[in-house]
Amino acid sequence: MNKSFDIGLEQLTGTAGVSMGNSVSTKYAGDGTEAAVPDRLRGTFFLETFGCQMNDHDSEKVAGVLLSRGYRQVESPESASLVLYNTCSIREKAAQKVFSRLGEFRVKQNEGRIIGVLGCVAQQEGEDIFERAPWVSLVCGAASYRKLPELLARVEAGNQRVTGLDTDTDETFETEMTRRDNPWRAYLTIIEGCDKACSYCVVPYTRGPERSRASDAILREVRQLAELGYSEVQLLGQTVNSYKDPTTRGMRFSELLLAVADEPGIRRVRFTTSHPSDFTRDIVDALDAQTKLCNHVHLPVQSGSTRVLRAMQRTYSREEYLEKIALIRSAKRPISITTDIIVGFPGETEEDLRETLSLLDAVQYDGIFSFKYSPRPHTPSLAMSDIISEEEKSRRLAVLQEKQREIQTKKYSALVGETFELLVGGKSRRENQWSGHTSCHRVINFSSQEPALLGKYVQVRVTGATPNCLVGEQAP
Ligand code: SAM
Ligand code: SF4
């Protein structure tokens, strides 16, 4: 993966261990025997997250639910009585990781811990997880999180095989409390699930149908976030711009963007991931009207070949995608554009790959996330013939990434001498070294003599560039 852009995969600064008191009464019988968890571990949880920002944010909400039930968060599974894995199954490797984590508990299964699997692998594998790892007591898919408090209560009461696997809900996952990992930048899911049907993608199966959250609930939460000192919000959804306000207000996505930006205290609004088919003129008009809307659009293309896009059931052609790019480029200020690309989709030819490479030339992306096609259960592409070998997929990925490296080398070196406003989010161990994000979502590592910059907005002049990294110094 070419990761010059940071799209939320960074390690956030943790505030783990915040206790809300300890009123948990748990019957620790995860393996069917009486509890063996020492008293000092009671009411503690460990939560590890795999995958995308939506999973990161779901985990923040799950942590909120647990903290409000009196649990305390700890930093290792060894010091927890409840161990949860919030999983990702978008590619096979991610799903395998979870089973290797669960395997670590095979030898420890008499210690009385409760083990739970949440998220996409939970939804995908369902009750089979109990067969593969009988020491697991809770399996809950992302579409059932609104039932989590009830499911946890059953686990706490000693039930050993508790599942939440429904996807037939029209509700979103609302919590009383969300324990956010980052004190300045907040994620906020505005639409859950997905109604598109890309032939390679397991998300519609694991996350269920599309459900948009009420605009008044979103705006209320943004207001609370601003009061708590958050200045940047990132609106999330698998297809964030397909948002349809379920209230009588009927706000369009672009109207919601403007309303969020209008909340006092909010300085930056991001949104990801946009689907090309739903990317309309009014979103660009909103970007033009309000500079608090960040100048970055993540617009996954997946392939530059219309033939492959059709096989992927992506609902647009190469030409239609390029029209959307032209729309974004017509904005009054420069907008960074990033994308996702899959290589080695069944039947992809050398000519198809050439078309993807020529699309990179045409668009001049600021960053790409590139993946080898990974066959997933429950997806139509599983049945397709003309499978590309792993070796060939790796070769194509390398060709693609080399092309993008050349583009980025030019783009990044052209930024030397420019000044950007950064929200400072990290401090290096090296003295006077900091890092932050631009509005266009680039990370810049910079030097400053100032002692306390975390969470502040500063001007930084770029002094050097590599294809994946910018360095700079604080501007006076
Ligand atoms: N909803 C977003 C969209 O439509 O572009 C993407 C969500 S998905 C979590 C993130 C990315 O994972 C996709 O854009 C795609 O490039 C990649 N992806 C999804 N399924 C994949 C698969 N089976 N093999 C390889 N990459 C995959
Ligand atoms: Fe998956 Fe396609 Fe939905 Fe994105 S739009 S989540 S790639 S099905």
Is the minimum distance from the CB of 353 to ligand 2 under 6 angstroms? Answer: no
Is the minimum distance from the CB of 41 to ligand 2 under 6 angstroms? Answer: no
Residue nearest to atom 7 of ligand 1 (CA): 238
Residue nearest to atom 5 of ligand 1 (CA): 300
Residues in contact with ligand 1 by the CB-under-6-Å rule are: 52, 90-91, 200-201, 203, 238-239, 273, 275, 300, 302, 340, 342, 371, 373-374, 376
Pocket test for ligand 1, best of 342, 343, 373 (most atoms within 8 A of CB): 342
Residue 273 preceded by cis peptide, ω within 30: yes
143 DSSP assignment:
G
Q: Tell me, in angstroms, the distance from the centre of ligand 1 to residue 90's CA.
A: 7
The DSSP code sequence of 51-111 is: SSHHHHHHHHHHHHHHHHTT-EE-SSGGG-SEEEEEE--SSHHHHHHHHHHHHTTGGGGGG
Q: Residues 168-173: contacts with CB within 8 Å, 24+ apart?
A: 168/208, 169/143, 169/144, 169/208, 169/211, 170/209, 170/211, 171/146, 171/211, 172/146, 172/211, 172/212, 172/213, 173/58, 173/61, 173/142, 173/145, 173/146, 173/148
Q: How far apart are CA 338 and CA 438, in angstroms?
A: 14
The ligand with the least distance to the CA atom of 378 is 1
- Written as six digits, the tokens of 204 are 């519609």
Q: What pLDDT shows up at residue 21? A: 33
Q: What pLDDT shows up at residue 469? A: 87
- Written as six digits, the tokens of 64 are 């909120």
SS3 assignment, position 136: strand
Q: Tell me, in angstroms, the distance from the centre of ligand 1 to residue 73's CA.
A: 31
Is the full-model pTM beyond 0.75? yes
Is the minimum distance from the CB of 380 to ligand 2 under 6 angstroms? Answer: no
From the CA atom positions of the chain, what is the Rg in Å?
A: 23
Q: Tell me, in angstroms, the distance from the centre of ligand 2 to residue 179's CA.
A: 27
Query: How many other β-carbons are positioned within 10 Å of the β-carbon of residue 402?
Result: 11
Number of residues assigned to the chain: 476
Is the minimum distance from the CB of 163 to ligand 2 under 6 angstroms? Answer: no
Q: Is 7 within 8 Å of 53 (Cβ atoms)? A: yes
Residue nearest to atom 15 of ligand 1 (CA): 340
Ligand 2 nearest-atom number relative to CA 201: 1
Q: Tell me, in angstroms, the distance from the centre of ligand 2 to residue 171's CA.
A: 19
Q: What is the residue-level pLDDT of the chain in tens, covering all 476 positions?
A: 333 333 222 222 222 333 333 334 343 333 444 456 777 778 999 999 999 999 999 999 999 999 998 999 999 998 999 999 999 999 999 889 999 999 988 877 667 889 999 999 999 999 999 999 999 999 999 888 888 889 989 998 989 899 999 887 788 888 888 999 899 999 999 999 999 999 999 999 999 999 999 999 999 999 999 999 999 999 999 999 999 999 999 999 999 999 999 999 999 999 999 999 999 999 999 999 999 999 999 999 999 999 999 999 999 999 999 999 999 999 999 999 999 999 999 999 999 999 999 999 999 999 999 999 999 999 999 999 989 999 999 999 999 999 999 999 999 999 999 999 999 999 999 999 999 999 999 999 999 999 999 999 999 999 999 888 899 999 98
Is the minimum distance from the CB of 203 to ligand 2 under 6 angstroms? Answer: yes
Is the minimum distance from the CB of 90 to ligand 2 under 6 angstroms? Answer: no
Q: What pLDDT shows up at residue 467? A: 81
Q: How far apart are CA 336 and CA 168, in angstroms?
A: 37
| Phi-psi label, residue 236: left if phi above 0, alpha if psi -120 to 50, beta otherwise | beta
The ligand with the least distance to the CA atom of 341 is 1
Is the minimum distance from the CB of 275 to ligand 2 under 6 angstroms? Answer: yes
CA atoms within 13 A on the CB side of 29: 14
Q: Is 304 within 8 Å of 318 (Cβ atoms)? A: yes
Per-residue exposure over 173-189, b if at least 16 CB sit within 10 Å of its own CB, e if not: bebeebbbbbebbbbbb
| Phi-psi label, residue 313: left if phi above 0, alpha if psi -120 to 50, beta otherwise | left
Closest CA to 412 of 336, 355, 474, 329: 336
Q: Tell me, in angstroms, the distance from the centre of ligand 1 to residue 201's CA.
A: 6
Residues 6+ apart with CB under 8 A from 366: 4, 5, 296, 336, 337, 338, 408, 411, 440, 442
Ligand 1 nearest-atom number relative to CA 341: 16
